[in-house]
Amino acid sequence: MVRYNEYKYRKANMATSIRLDPEVEQRLERLAAQTGRTKAYYLRELVTSGLGDLEDFYLAAATMERVRKGEERIYTLDEAERDLGLAD
């Protein structure tokens, strides 16, 4: 019997495809073969674990661009401490 949440989770998965360099594909195939897991499993792991790092990097880059253009307010340490009630 499939529970509703399991069905909902399966329906929500997105299929996608990527092109890999032959060396990367061979490494992935070797890992999958040696561990008994699928290549898709490791690709999902990579995306899940790496997505936060990509978000941090690219969103920070976008913020820095707004700072350079004068569109984003920056604060000194003294201002931040004062506004957060941490000033001495």
Look up the pTM and report it.
0.57
* 66 within 8 A of 72, measured Cβ to Cβ: yes
Question: What does the alpha-carbon distance between residue 25 and residue 2 come to, in Å, rounded to a whole number?
Answer: 34
Residue 4: pLDDT band (50, 70, 90) is low
Label residue 23 exposed, middle or buried (CB < 10 Å: 0-12, 13-18, 19+).
exposed
pLDDT in tens, 22-77: 999 999 999 999 999 999 999 999 999 999 999 999 999 999 999 999 999 999 99
Query: Would you list the DSSP string of the chain?
Result: ---HHHHHHHHH---------HHHHHHHHHHHHHHT--HHHHHHHHHHHHHHHHHHHHHHHHHHHHHHTT-S----HHHHHHHTT---
**pLDDT value, residue 34:** 98
